[in-house]
A and B are shown apart, each in its own frame.
Chain A
C-alpha cells in the first residue's frame, strides 16, 4: 500500500529580468493506492499530474507532505534506504524511443537490472537468462526475436513492451504509466493498455495511470479510482464509473465534454460544459482555482476555497460549492 499525504511542490523559475517566479505544481494532494489497485490521474498539461507521478516514483523531491510505502514513512529513512523502497515503483513514460539505450541490444538492456536483482537474491547467470525470456513472454514479445535486437529494429509498440518488461525486472509493486500510449499507433494502443490490465490481474502490480484520455483510464481499471487534477489540486476523486457517469465538478464536466463524439455511433451529452476562458497562470490564487473559467461561478467561489470532500449526494468526493450532476458524456446512438 502506498499513500501520500498533503504533498506540495513548487517549482522556482530563476533568472529573467523580473527575478524568480514561483510556479505551484501541487497544492496539498492526498493519494492512496491499494496493492494491485488502479488509480488514474486526469487533467490538462501543466495540472501537476506528471509531477505527482514522478514524486510517487521517487524521481522528484517534494516540499512538504509525507509518502508512506507499506506503512514506512519515507521521511524517516536515509537516502539509501529510501531508494530501495522507491525502486519498487517503476515509471513508464510516454516516449519509448528515448527510454531505451540505442547502443544496447534488448538483452543488454534487460541484463543490467537483472544482474542487480540476481546479486540481491543470490541467483545465477542462468536464472537471469530465464527471467529475461519469461518477462518478454509476459509482455507479449517473442524472446528469440527481440533479445538480440537494438531498439531501432523494433516498432513503437514493441519498444513500449520492452520498457514494461524492464520495469518488471525488479518485481515492482507499482507501475507509473505516464501517457504510456500517446506515442503508440492507434491500432496498437489497446494492446499496451490490455497488457497493463493483465499485469494487474496476473502479478498483482498496481498501476498508476496518468493520462488526458479518460476512456483509457476506464479501460485500465473499472474497479479503480479516478483523480481529476486542476492546477495542482484534486477537484474530484472517486470510483472511475461514478466520476465518468455522474461528474459533479464543472472542471470534470468540461474535460468529459471535450472528448470528441463519434457521430453516427454516439449522441453528444445534452449538457456539455465549455469553460469560459483559457488558464491565466499569473492570476492571483484566491477562492476556487477553477472559478475564472467556470460558467457556474458565484461570488462565493471567488472568495472562499472549496475543500475536497464528500457531501453525501455522490459516491465520489469533490471540491465545489455548487456541485450538480450534468449529462455531458456521449451516449450510444440507437441503431436504426
Chain B
C-alpha cells in the first residue's frame, strides 16, 4: 500500500471557506474554519442542520459538489499535501486510499443490486488493486473484527442486512484500502440506542487498533461526548468553540455550546434545568454577513456583536470565538483576530 508510513497522519484545515452559488449570489456555508486533527485522535464536529458541518466533511475529500465550491483555504494531510489543490485522477485515488469516508445514512449508500462482495471488488478495481483476493481477505477480517460473519456479509445484498450491519459495512469499505484518515458523517443517525453504543465502541476500537486519525460529524453532542478526544462546535458556517471534549463539556465557554448542553434533558437531577434555546438556527440565506453568527439567539449579546467579528481566543488547548468569552478571565493567553495565513485570498 502506498501510505508513507503506518503512523496516523495529521490533518490541518486552514482558513477553509466554502460558498454555494444561489440566485442571491455566492453564500458562505463554511467560513474561515481552522481545525487541526492531531495524529491518532478522534475529533468530533457538532452542529445543527445548516451549520456547515457536512460541507466541512466533504471538503476533506475535496468533494464539494457544484453549485458549491471551496473558495479559499487548504486541507493539508501529512504525506499527501493539500487536498484542495488535487485534481482528476490524483484526487480520485486519494479518496479511499488516504481518506476513507463513511457517508451519512451509510445504510442507503450501498448498491441494492450488487452483493457487498461485488461492490468491494468494484472498489478494488477502480483503485487498481492487484491483489483482489487479499482485499477480500482484509474485508473479511475487518467485518469479523466488528462482530459480523464476514463471509456471510460479503455474500449478502444490502436489504439482507440490518441498519447496524450496513453501518459496519460502510466502515469496512472506508478502511479496506488502508486509509488512515477517516471521516464519519452522522455514523449513528437512525440507529437504535444499543446499536449506537455498539457502533461507537467499534469505531473507537478500530481507530486505536489501526492507528487512524478520525473525524466524526454529528448533530448529537452525546455521540461526540462518548468517543471524541477533541470537540469542535459549528454554528452558521463558523467554528465557534473547540477543545478537549471533557473540558468543553465540563466548562463550555461559548454561549451556543452552553445553550446546546442546557437544551439536553438529562436522566438525573432537576429536569427543569433543561432550557430551550430561543430562536432557530440560521440557514444559508439568513446567516448575518457581519458580526457574530449567533447573536440573534445569544443571552449575553452586546453591541459589539452586531458588527464586530468575534475575536478568536486561544486559551491553552481551547479555542473560542466570542466577544463575551474573554470577559473577566485572567487565563486569556493569546488573542488573534483570525487565521494567520491566506486570509485575504479570494
**Interface residue? A191 (CB, 8 A):** yes
Chain A residue at minimum C-beta to C-beta distance from B163: A45
Known: A190-B275, A261-B225, A262-B221. A330 touches B268 (CB 8 A): yes
**Interface residue? A332 (CB, 8 A):** yes
* Docked-complex contact A186 and B250, CB < 8 angstroms: no
In A239-259, the 8 Å CB interface with B consists of 244-245, 254-259
Q: Which of A51-59, A110-118, A211-219 contacts B (4 or more CB under 8 A)?
A: A211-219
* Docked-complex contact B263 and A44, CB < 8 angstroms: no
Known: A215-B264, A275-B194. A264 touches B225 (CB 8 A): yes
- B281 interface neighbour in A187, A218, A219, A254, Cβ under 8 Å: A187
Could you tell me the distance in whole angstroms from the C-beta of B191 to the nearest C-beta in chain A? 9
Residues of B within 8 A of A222 (CB): 271
- A261 interface neighbour in B49, B196, B226, B261, Cβ under 8 Å: B226
Residues of B within 8 A of A216 (CB): 265
* Docked-complex contact A186 and B267, CB < 8 angstroms: no
Residues of B within 8 A of A202 (CB): none
* Docked-complex contact A278 and B271, CB < 8 angstroms: no
Could you tell me the distance in whole angstroms from the C-beta of B203 to the nearest C-beta in chain A? 13
* Docked-complex contact A186 and B274, CB < 8 angstroms: no
Residues of A within 8 A of B275 (CB): 190
- A185 interface neighbour in B192, B249, B281, Cβ under 8 Å: B281
* Docked-complex contact B265 and A263, CB < 8 angstroms: no
Chain B residue at minimum C-beta to C-beta distance from A195: B276
**What 0/1 pattern do residues 173 to 201 of A give for CB contact below 8 A with B?**
00000000000011111110110000000
* Docked-complex contact A218 and B193, CB < 8 angstroms: no
**Interface residue? A265 (CB, 8 A):** yes
Known: A185-B280, A186-B219, A186-B221. A215 touches B267 (CB 8 A): yes
> A325 vs B202: C-alpha distance in the bound complex, in angstroms?
28
- B193 interface neighbour in A187, A255, A264, A332, Cβ under 8 Å: A255
**Interface residue? B245 (CB, 8 A):** yes
**Interface residue? B205 (CB, 8 A):** no
* Docked-complex contact A263 and B226, CB < 8 angstroms: yes
**Interface residue? A312 (CB, 8 A):** no
**Interface residue? A143 (CB, 8 A):** no
Could you tell me the distance in whole angstroms from the C-beta of A329 to the nearest C-beta in chain B? 5
**Interface residue? A331 (CB, 8 A):** yes
Residues of B within 8 A of A214 (CB): 267
> A261 vs B162: C-alpha distance in the bound complex, in angstroms?
25
**Interface residue? B200 (CB, 8 A):** yes
Known: A330-B268, A331-B268, A332-B268. A185 touches B196 (CB 8 A): no
* Docked-complex contact B225 and A245, CB < 8 angstroms: no
Known: A212-B192, A215-B264, A256-B267. A188 touches B225 (CB 8 A): no
Residues of B within 8 A of A45 (CB): 192
> A87 vs B197: C-alpha distance in the bound complex, in angstroms?
39
**Interface residue? B37 (CB, 8 A):** no
Known: A215-B265, A261-B226, A333-B250. A44 touches B280 (CB 8 A): no
- B223 interface neighbour in A190, A218, A260, A274, Cβ under 8 Å: A260
**Interface residue? B248 (CB, 8 A):** yes
* Docked-complex contact B221 and A329, CB < 8 angstroms: no
* Docked-complex contact A193 and B249, CB < 8 angstroms: no
* Docked-complex contact A218 and B267, CB < 8 angstroms: yes
Residues of B within 8 A of A278 (CB): 162, 164, 195
* Docked-complex contact A187 and B48, CB < 8 angstroms: yes
> A97 vs B245: C-alpha distance in the bound complex, in angstroms?
34
Known: A188-B276, A263-B245. A258 touches B196 (CB 8 A): yes
CB-CB nearest 6 A-B residue pairs: A260-B222, A264-B246, A264-B250, A264-B249, A258-B197, A219-B265
A-B contacts, 27 of them at CB < 8 A, read A44-B195, A155-B280, A156-B49, A186-B221, A187-B297, A190-B263, A190-B276, A194-B276, A218-B265, A255-B193, A255-B194, A258-B197, A260-B197, A260-B225, A261-B225, A263-B225, A263-B226, A263-B246, A264-B225, A264-B245, A264-B247, A264-B248, A265-B225, A330-B267, A331-B268, A332-B268, A333-B250
Q: A156-B49, A213-B193, A259-B267 are in contact. List 13 more A-B contacts (CB 8 A).
A: A186-B221, A186-B264, A187-B263, A187-B276, A187-B280, A187-B281, A189-B276, A190-B276, A212-B192, A245-B268, A257-B197, A264-B245, A330-B267
Chain B residues in the interface with A (C-beta under 8 A): 48-49, 162, 164, 192-197, 200, 219-223, 225-226, 245-250, 259-261, 263-269, 271, 274-277, 280-281, 297
